Amino acid sequence: MSVSIRIPTPLRPFTNQLSVVAVDGATVGDILQQLTTLHPELRQHLYTPEGTLRSFVNVYVNNDDVRYLQREQTPVTSTDTISIVPSVAGGSGAAVADLPALTRDDVRRYSRHLIMPEVGVPGQQRLKAARVLCVGAGGLGSPAALYLTAAGVGTLGLVDFDTVDVSNLQRQVLYTTADVGRPKLAAAAERLTALNPDLNVVSHQERLTSANALRIFADYDVIVDGADNFPTRYLVNDACVLLGKPNAYGSIFRFEGQASVFATEGGPCYRCLYPEPPPPGLVPSCAEGGVLGVLPGIIGTIQATEAIKIITRAGQTLAGRLLLIDALAMEFRSMNLRRDPACPVCGDHPTVTSLIDYEQFCGIPTAAAGPSLRAEFETTVEELKARLDRRDPVWVLDVREPHEYDICRIAGTTLIPLGEISRRLREIPFGADAPDIVVHCKSGVRSAKAVHLLREHGYTRIRNLTGGIIEWIKKIDPTQPTY
């Protein structure tokens, strides 16, 4: 009996880019075993070394999480679809009488809201009184902030500490070319107040940390999570649960996105969905894997929609559901979520009652972006350039994707994408007479993982190029474009 398995974008490099794989089996466990037999490189992404399903990968049969069915013993039929969903990362309580009155200008500006019975005058008053915080003013925060501003939210907080880079303009629609090099929050405040002069913008020009999150969140009614890394995503979740603030969640990768609402009364939180983060380097970031420019516009707008519904008390939010968007197939699917009674944050007997060290929780070494390597397994771009100039026996391996290789490259390198290394080991020199190997990717994250993998296969004279090709272009060959 053949059952279809939907493969998410981050795992497709390990299934020869297949988005759907059909295998035979009577239970979820049978199906996953057959899948990892057909595509063995998937196994480390789905299972721990001890053979249990990883906690940051959720498996659904149709719309239901197998954790709330019979787990791997859940029976399946040919009419079922299995989806693998990895981690990729109340309203205002005031009474109507206490809400601010709408001015004549408000009535003109928000007339299309006021004639909708689901919003009306009370809903628009709640928006005017509302205080919403956007964590991040980047890909997700840009559309969310614009639409919340246009909708008439009275106070909009922004947390960010970055400056505008030209590479941001492909998706971060808050900014223009003239803003490149400016602090994001300064440029964002100008754009948002130009759109709606009545908006009160509160800028938090700082990195969100365990030391300041509760203080910053305390003054807001709804938190919009536009984080782009796992430590911040878990920090936002835990702070929202501890303070009782609803969390309009979104995440993006390439053509795929997720959205939900967490930390509502009686509803699940992000940890109910993903109890633990993936190990550093296992899930690529958007900087490594890319993202379709319009995708954060879709997800960020959904986050703004959920925030508006929470504030106005209109409709049904995504609390208790996970919305999955595949822009390449233009497909929207909704998966059911439940609060986990054993959740360490929102469960019946929580063990996390204060904010923790989220860098440590996510396994990220200080000042590192990926898997850590000892110094003897790292090399600099200057050292590699000197060795190449001397014509030393060195073999340079590029583990990026072909479309990245087309943008820029180090002359004479061999391209083997990270997801193909295990099945192409014969192409990589090995043995006493083999040259030294230097591995690189875009910034050093994927190549560090490749070094770990090759060392497990017996390679010893192997180094990771610190900073990757971006560092090479910056210091050695600035004639090439970066991305």
List the catalytic residues: 286, 441
Instruction: Give the whole-angstrom CA distance, residue 120 versus residue 352.
Output: 40
Instruction: Give the whole-angstrom CA distance, residue 258 versus residue 60.
Output: 15
Instruction: Give the whole-angstrom CA distance, residue 133 versus residue 145.
Output: 9
**Residues β-bridged to residue 367:** none
Q: Which residues of 372-407 are buried (b: 16+ CB within 10 A; e: fewer)?
A: ebeeebbbebeebeebbeeeeebbbbbbbbeebeee
Instruction: Give the whole-angstrom CA distance, residue 179 versus residue 164.
Output: 6
DSSP string covering 64-96:
EEGGGTTGGG-B--TT-EEEEEE---------G
User: End-to-end alpha-carbon separation of the chain, Å?
Assistant: 45
DSSP string covering 389-403:
HTT-SEEEEE-S-HH
Q: Which H/E stretch holds residue 386?
A: helix 381-389
Q: Name the amino acid, one letter, at 72.
A: E
DSSP 3-state of 183? strand
**Residue 202: how many CB atoms within 10 A of its CB?**
16
What six digits make up the tokens of 81?
């679809």
